[in-house]
Structure 1
Amino acid sequence: MKILLLSAYDAASHRYWHQGLVSNLNQHQWTVLTLPPRYFSWRIRGNSLSWAMNERETLEQPYDLIIATSMTDLSALRGFVPHLASIPTLVYFHENQFAYPESGREYGNVEPKILNIYTALAADHICFNTAYNRETFLTGCRALLKKLPDQVPLGVAEQLEQRSSVLQVPLPSSAYQPHDPQSGAVRLIWNHRWEFDKGPDRLLRAVEGLCDAGVDFRLDVVGQQFRRVPPVFEELKTLLAERAGRWGFVESVAEYRLLLQQADIVLSTALHDYQGIAVLEGAAAGALPLVPNRLAYPELFPQECCYQSGDAESQALVSAVIDYAAAKLQGHPPAAPDISGLSWEAMGKAYARLLGDVVG
């Protein structure tokens, strides 16, 4: 097949996904168009205009299938380039605009949510990376449509639900590495974007609890950073002192993989995660995931990996690390769950079937 792939806001997780598609389904002929992940409001509304005017020759080539991310303004793009309207189209939702936590800087703009709905309606099939992502999208869609004043068609959410499915973002084979546990202190790693929605304030409270409890630990804090880094990270670094391990973004993939291999525990304190590739990669390298019992985590990890969420969340995480430290000291720490079913080797056929079904 000749496939056109459109990634309108090509953030790291989106790039991770479409590079996996292209390299693992290489029997197809791929054309990939991307736009940089910046200027969010303009990008999600302007991607159709940018592509229609700047990439028209590419867009008007003959394709058997279009795959677009949910950030793509698909309905407008099909209007600008009518040739695209007759090509079977799959939209992949890495996230949805209904479940993203508010930072306090928002302006109450519902347009990103409306665009999610329009793009979903313009597709032949929509696919979500987790059931949590699908359910929060459909719930948010119903709630928003109920608020609109008039002329709202019936059954929109139901129609979208019927043409939707769930298929996770697979992990590359390079993520599955032999575990290399280190003796001594419990090795923790927190490997997320350095933004408020990943819960760094909750991480700080958990570290305070671990310090107060006298736990012998070392913490690597790594991940993508942006111009505005929440000030809590400086507080965290000061608190950790000699307990701080690797700090900041790790350029080398090999070095990053080694950190995961050597970690005892990979942590999440996230307020927002639709799949949690960072934690999954930690588990693939043999680190025990400790994640809050909410978001998409309960459908991805066994219950013993999910600590209690709510008011006592940080203390629940502290207790889980203390239990691990005691088990490690006795020589039998709990093992990471088997997530080999989320590899490209395991999931490639499911993706091939999905693409064939949309075209067929």
Structure 2
Amino acid sequence: MSVLLIEAFYGGSHKQLMDLLQEELQDDCVLCTLPAKKWHWKARTAALYFMQTVPTSTNYRVLFASSVLNLAELVALRPDLGKLKKVLYFHENQLAYPVQKCQERDFQYGYNQVLSWFMPEHKLAHLEKVIGVKRNGDAYQLEGLPGRQKSGDLMKNSNAHGESGLCTPQHEGLPSPLPAPERLNKAEASESTNPCQEEDKQHLTFNLCNIMSGRDSQQRPLHVAWPHRWEHDKDPETFFKVLLKLKEKDLPFHVSVLGEAFAEIPDIFSEAKKALGSSVLHWGYLPSKDDYFQALCMADVVISTAKHEFFGVAMVEAVYCGCYPLCPKALVYPEIFPAEYLYSTPEQLFKRLQNFCKRPDIVRKHLYKGETAGFSWAALGGKFRSLLAAEPREDL
């Protein structure tokens, strides 16, 4: 195996990316991981753990890791790994990550990222020549990959939070997103088929007749999806505040609150579930990707209220499944979604949803106007293969 994959937080989008790379590289890689628990503890101590557990090998050529790992510490503890070409994938920027409470920020995590990312000028010049890294102010961009960083961000070699810019292998060959009526009228996908996969050029979607009880697109209440981690940086408070305002006005809607929860769940989730009552269609994490995609295919609108987002793979996946996206006019979203799908304030979000609740057929007949094909593995796979296939050299 020539590629060493290291993930200190093996869950969510971190796991999704590592599993994808392992599947593509097959026998040419070895994957070393730690469970997706106690994130802060992993950021502080993972280097010491991997120093002891990563097997030694003369075959390694490339080390690929996420920025949860303090890479500088690891290569100091394991000089044999310091000789490898190193690719560090940033899922988030810890220097700008929103703090949950008004208190002094712990800069250790951002400092880890700074130490791990530092690149000497001669190595940058080599990358510019070999794989197309370009300087953009004080940031760097791998040419051809969809850049998500602003000047000064730590994201250098890829887009992040996919909470990465990659879609899963099942997305390869996906057609353009379907308008809702076409999704509902297509033949039911087989149980062995991913609902968002295309085979033999046929669109495979779900037959939702039983779920919808035969009601037409105007009679069925608007179905809103929120498919994000149950944590404060996704700003669930704003999302639920908007929904409860809709409910106060007796506007009909259903909501599916998806995404993964961890040890500390913000109180707003239990409070909102009780207040929303019969409007809740689904509540909780779906470990099966097929079940998750089916839930997205059932929804009409997908919403983000995030305060920190480098990419947002959940939003792109939902668009693939036919959802109408509504995102903040901030962060990475204006780079991905046309202006039609952006809002500037919670009040604007409420007004958009209010109109959709009154006329759900508007979104069900809508055909997404943006481009998503560039985020599929079919488009990005070659770039990653080239990045991880470099031959060992003295100047790497």
Cα deviation digits, residues 15-57 of structure 1 (max 9, x gap) = 111111222344x6011111123333332121111111233xx
Aligned CA distance change for structure 1 residues 165 and 346 (closer, same or farther; 3 Å): same
> What SS does the aligned partner of 1:169 have?
coil
Aligned residue runs from structure 1 range 298-337, under 5 A: 298-308=334-344, 313-326=345-358, 328-329=360-361, 333-336=365-368, 337=370
Structure 1 residue identity aligned to 2:170: S
1:243, distance to aligned residue in structure 2 (A): 1.0
1:14, distance to aligned residue in structure 2 (A): 0.7
Q: Is the 8 A contact 2:356 2:362 kept in 1?
A: no
Q: Distance in 1 between matches of 2:8 and 2:363?
A: 49
1:287, distance to aligned residue in structure 2 (A): 0.7
Q: Distance in 1 between matches of 2:100 and 2:146?
A: 23
Structure 2 residue identity aligned to 1:318: F
Aligned CA distance change for structure 1 residues 300 and 327 (closer, same or farther; 3 Å): same
Q: TM-score, normalised by structure 1?
A: 0.82
Aligned residue runs from structure 1 range 100-179, under 5 A: 100-104=97-101, 108-121=105-118, 131-133=147-149, 135=151, 137-138=153-154, 164-167=156-159, 169-175=165-171, 177=196, 178=204
Residue aligning to 1:41: 40
1:330, distance to aligned residue in structure 2 (A): 6.0
Q: Distance in 1 between matches of 2:6 and 2:22?
A: 12
1:331, distance to aligned residue in structure 2 (A): 8.3
> What SS does the aligned partner of 2:118 have?
helix
Asked if residue 15 in structure 1 is aligned to residue 15 in structure 2, the reply is yes
Residue aligning to 1:50: 49
Q: TM-score, normalised by structure 2?
A: 0.75
Q: Distance in 2 between matches of 1:213 and 1:112?
A: 44
Aligned CA distance change for structure 1 residues 72 and 61 (closer, same or farther; 3 Å): farther
Structure 2 residue identity aligned to 1:21: L
Residue 230 of structure 1 is aligned with which of 251, 257, 266? 266
Cα deviation digits, residues 188-207 of structure 1 (max 9, x gap) = 11111111111111012111
Residue aligning to 1:93: 90
1:132, distance to aligned residue in structure 2 (A): 4.2
1:303, distance to aligned residue in structure 2 (A): 1.3
Asked if residue 288 in structure 1 is aligned to residue 331 in structure 2, the reply is no
Q: Distance in 2 between matches of 1:331 and 1:96?
A: 34
Residue aligning to 2:183: none
Q: Is the 8 A contact 1:222 1:248 kept in 2?
A: yes
Asked if residue 278 in structure 1 is aligned to residue 274 in structure 2, the reply is no
Structure 2 residue identity aligned to 1:50: Y
Q: Is the 8 A contact 2:89 2:157 kept in 1?
A: no
Q: Distance in 2 between matches of 1:86 and 1:111?
A: 26
Count of aligned positions:
329
Aligned CA distance change for structure 1 residues 331 and 347 (closer, same or farther; 3 Å): closer
> What SS does the aligned partner of 1:97 have?
coil
Q: Is the 8 A contact 1:284 1:338 kept in 2?
A: no
Aligned CA distance change for structure 1 residues 333 and 299 (closer, same or farther; 3 Å): same
Residue aligning to 1:349: 382
> What SS does the aligned partner of 1:35 have?
strand
Asked if residue 269 in structure 1 is aligned to residue 305 in structure 2, the reply is yes
Q: Is the 8 A contact 1:209 1:315 kept in 2?
A: no
Q: Is the 8 A contact 1:189 1:220 kept in 2?
A: yes
Q: Distance in 1 between matches of 2:250 and 2:365?
A: 19
Asked if residue 80 in structure 1 is aligned to residue 77 in structure 2, the reply is yes
Residue aligning to 1:339: 372
Q: Distance in 2 between matches of 1:270 and 1:105?
A: 18
Residue aligning to 1:24: 24
Residue aligning to 2:190: none
Q: Distance in 2 between matches of 1:331 and 1:356?
A: 44
Aligned CA distance change for structure 1 residues 236 and 351 (closer, same or farther; 3 Å): same
With 316-325 and 219-228 compared, the bigger mean Cα shift is at 316-325
Aligned CA distance change for structure 1 residues 136 and 271 (closer, same or farther; 3 Å): farther
> What SS does the aligned partner of 1:190 have?
strand
Q: Distance in 1 between matches of 2:297 and 2:392?
A: 40
Asked if residue 297 in structure 1 is aligned to residue 329 in structure 2, the reply is no
Q: Is the 8 A contact 1:284 1:340 kept in 2?
A: no
1:171, distance to aligned residue in structure 2 (A): 0.7
For structure 2, the residue ranges without an aligned partner over 5 or more in a row are: 128-139, 175-195, 197-203
> What SS does the aligned partner of 1:334 have?
coil
Higher share in helix: 1
For structure 1, the residue ranges without an aligned partner over 5 or more in a row are: 139-160
1:122, distance to aligned residue in structure 2 (A): 6.2
